[in-house]
Amino acid sequence: MAVIMLLAYTTTDSVSAAAAERLKPMLGMVHDADLRGHRHFSSGPIEMLELSTPLVDAQMLDSLGSWDLIVFLSRHRSARGVPAFTVHAEGNWGQSADLGGTPRELGMAAPVQMLGFLRSISSAASMAGAKAQVVYEATHHGPLLRTPSFFAEMGGSEEAMSDTVMLDTFASAVADFVNGQSDPTPAGKVAVYLGGTHYPAKATAMALGKGYAFAHIMPKHFVAETGMLAQAFERSRPRPTSAVIEWKSINAVARDKLVQTLDLLGFEYERA
């Protein structure tokens, strides 16, 4: 059965807009009737919507339509300026919601589809010789949605965000991912990832090497938020069956609390 998918982009983000313009002819998108004032495009079960506000504030999408999956096409900013292609779920582990969403609320993750895009962008970057990292990011920022969704991002530095090879590679990977959704490659274990940095290299390696499909990723600086673990399992389609803990990245006291909470919730874990 075909996945009814929305690709969302915004004119406030140069990468988002440029990727969308490349994708429209690649996917055979046709401009049809506007959707509540937003330019709308479609090609079979695939739809595209143009927003004029930041993607992190797009919580209204749940009320605009009914989709199986929403993919946000976005730029990626890095304090270190490292060129990268990234993928992540949305949500806020802590009290801050400076970048959209709601404090201490997680969106609905799409672990199998995130793995699919990670595979697509990894393959496309390798074939293009793009000098950029391919990595998961920890769950962060808005919008808060009930629909399964994820951010597909490209950039790192201002130079990377305008790099033609990277933009072409990004658009090609998104197109390959979209076209493969009617017959997605089966994932291995669906899991929550706990610990590591904002860019958990071990999680990426487990996904690409062993087929792990990670839902929400809680970085080490939020592992004290054990009250959020139930959400991490519940707010995912499909739901994770276990957790992976990046053992050495977390101190013993925090690890014990994580393990105790997982035991109470009835989930097994393994070490990474």
Residue 185 belongs to some domain of the structure: no
Say if residues 191 and 268 touch (Cβ distance below 8 Å): no
pLDDT tens string 127-142: 999 889 999 999 999 9
- The pLDDT assigned to 183 comes to 61
Residue 187 is predicted with a pLDDT of 74
149, part of any domain: yes
Q: Would 27 be classed as within a structural domain?
A: yes
Tens of pLDDT along 103-127? 999 999 999 999 999 999 999 999 9
Lowest mean pLDDT among 8-22, 141-155, 178-192: 178-192
Inside any domain, residue 24: yes
How many structural domains compose the chain? 2
**Domain assignment present for 186:** no
- Do residues 16 and 130 share a domain? yes
Q: How many whole angstroms from its chain centre is CA 114? A: 6
- Give the model confidence (pLDDT) of 13-69 as tens digits: 999 999 999 999 999 999 999 999 999 999 999 999 999 999 999 999 999 999 999
Q: Is residue 108 assigned to a domain? A: yes
Give the Cα separation of 125 and 11 in Å (integer): 25
pLDDT band at 78 (very low <50, low <70, confident <90, very high): confident
Task: Write down the pLDDT at residue 182.
Answer: 58
pLDDT at site 1: 66
pLDDT given at position 96 = 93
Give the domain-ending residue among 179, 208, 232: 179
Burial status of residue 54 (CB atoms within 10 A of its CB: 0-12, 13-18, 19 or more): middle
- CATH assignment at residue 208: 3.40.50.10700
The domain of 137 spans 5-179
The domain spanning residue 85 has which CATH number? Answer: 3.40.630.50
> Do 248 and 160 lie in a common domain?
no
